[in-house]
Amino acid sequence: MKIVVDDKIPFIRGILEIYGKVIYAPGGAIDNEMVKDTDAIIIRTRTKCNKQLLKNSSVKFIATATIGYDHIDKDYCSAHNIKWVNAPGCNAKSVEQYMTAALLYLHIHDQIELKGKTLGVVGVGNTGSKTAKIAEILGMNVLLNDPPRARQENSGPFVSLKEIIAHADFICFHVPLNREGVDQTYHLVDQSFIDKVSSKVFLMSTCRGEVIDNQVLKSALNLNQVQGAVLDVWENEPTIDLELMDLCKITTPHIAGYSADGKVNGTENSVRALSQFFNLDLNKWKCPDIPVPHAMEISIDGKGKPDEQILFEAVHYTYPIEKDDEKLRQSTSTFEKQRGDYPIRREFNNYKVRLSNGSEKVEEQLKKLGFII
């Protein structure tokens, strides 16, 4: 057996070698020549699994260690009997951490009020559901938009995109990239969208860059048609629009889902799926212990501090989002390197908070976010 693996997928080296030849390569460098005699590939979003890559190859199985799968040509795989799997929900809690950090950073550093404001969540799958949950913990009202789920469930708390546009103070996007069809999300945010939203709205996206027309957003920010933007994803990555970046409140290089815990989930899902397909003995394989970046206990004295400040200090200890922002602004040319060499980031549930002089309410909020109290 021959397996080609994206060399930035963590914790996988040495696991598959006993079953055959394993080649590690940068995701963007995996090509037809490399995979022509390959049985399986394990990838991320930078490897486009289409006819150009797969034609006349022996590939039988593709695992992407990501939630998204728009880089896989599903029709081509189906027509050529190639099994593919993604990793649903693998980094949802990482995106939850990112969104919590972003919202609290805006509140503390830009004096943007959260409590009582309305967050519109577009796409209520694994990541969208968790974002809705943290918004409620922070005292926000939430509106949910998910047309596929609304049709399928024929009930539930879903509203139209029109209603979100009309009432939301923040709108975040957690949708797959669909370039056509009834649920098209390509350029979901276009000029007609911008023309309808309040000039006080914040737009936040962690899904796919093409969901927002970046030129339209740049114009909207320049003309004060929206209050601000938080972007983790961009059109034309890694060559991003520098003028748009300068206009955004928070900018990061497509790393919202890059917690170590999320990466582990993606790797485990890929290895187990490969094992099941080829009848190996790794169906219950688990990654070794994940490294920790620093002490996992957070001490906070809440005396004289509002609850939001306490929440910010706890979240910021686990993930100082402004560092990713600063790094990207200082060196946009290293966009891919920043992703590939991303430092260890652990999620909330790994941290214990020792809080003195804090209210029962904020303790409960910390627990709901996942912290150990």
On the question of pLDDT at 336 being above 80, the answer is yes
Which pLDDT score is estimated for 294?
A: 84
On the question of pLDDT at 331 being above 90, the answer is yes
- C-alpha–C-alpha distance, residues 256 and 68, integer Å: 13
Mean pLDDT of 73-82: 97
- C-alpha–C-alpha distance, residues 214 and 61, integer Å: 35
Buried b (16+ CB within 10 A) or exposed e, 285-314: bebeebeeeeeeebebebeebebbbbbbbb
Show which residues are catalytic. Answer: 208, 237, 254
Tell me phi and psi for residue 119, to 5 degrees: -105, 125
Buried b (16+ CB within 10 A) or exposed e, 49-81: beeebbeebebbbbbbbbbbbbbbbeebbeeee
Mean pLDDT of 307-322: 98
pTM of the model: 0.93
Domains and CATH numbers, the chain: 2-86+259-278 (3.40.50.720), 92-251 (3.40.50.720), 297-369 (3.30.1370)
Q: Mean pLDDT across the chain, nearest whole number?
A: 96
Which pLDDT score is estimated for 257?
A: 96
Mind giving me the DSSP string for 223-257? Answer: TTSSSEEEES--TTTTS--HHHHHH-SEE-SS-TT
On the question of pLDDT at 271 being above 80, the answer is yes
Which pLDDT score is estimated for 289?
A: 80
H helices of the chain, in order, are 32-35, 51-54, 74-79, 92-110, 126-137, 147-153, 161-167, 191-196, 214-222, 242-247, 260-278, 307-318, 321-330, 335-340, 360-369
Cβ neighbors of 210 (< 8 A, separation 6 or more) are 177, 179, 186, 187, 235
Per-residue confidence at 200, pLDDT binned at 50, 70, 90?
A: very high
Per-residue confidence at 201, pLDDT binned at 50, 70, 90?
A: very high
Residues 132-176: pLDDT tens digits? 999 999 999 999 999 999 999 987 799 999 999 999 999 999 999
Which pLDDT score is estimated for 288?
A: 83
Which pLDDT score is estimated for 155?
A: 74
Per-residue confidence at 314, pLDDT binned at 50, 70, 90?
A: very high
Which pLDDT score is estimated for 147?
A: 96
Which pLDDT score is estimated for 133?
A: 98
Q: Is 96 exposed, middle or buried (0-12, 13-18, 19+ CB in 10 A)?
A: buried
Please name the amino acid found at residue 144: L
Calculate what percentage of the chain has a pLDDT beyond 70.
Answer: 100
Calculate what percentage of the chain has a pLDDT beyond 90.
Answer: 96
Which pLDDT score is estimated for 26?
A: 95
- In the block, tokens 């006819």 appear at 51
The DSSP bridge partners found for residue 355 are 300
Which pLDDT score is estimated for 293?
A: 83
Which pLDDT score is estimated for 168?
A: 98
Mean pLDDT of 69-96: 96
- C-alpha–C-alpha distance, residues 369 and 367, integer Å: 5
Q: Which of 343, 338, 347 is nearest to 372 (CA)?
A: 347
Per-residue confidence at 260, pLDDT binned at 50, 70, 90?
A: very high
Which pLDDT score is estimated for 290?
A: 86
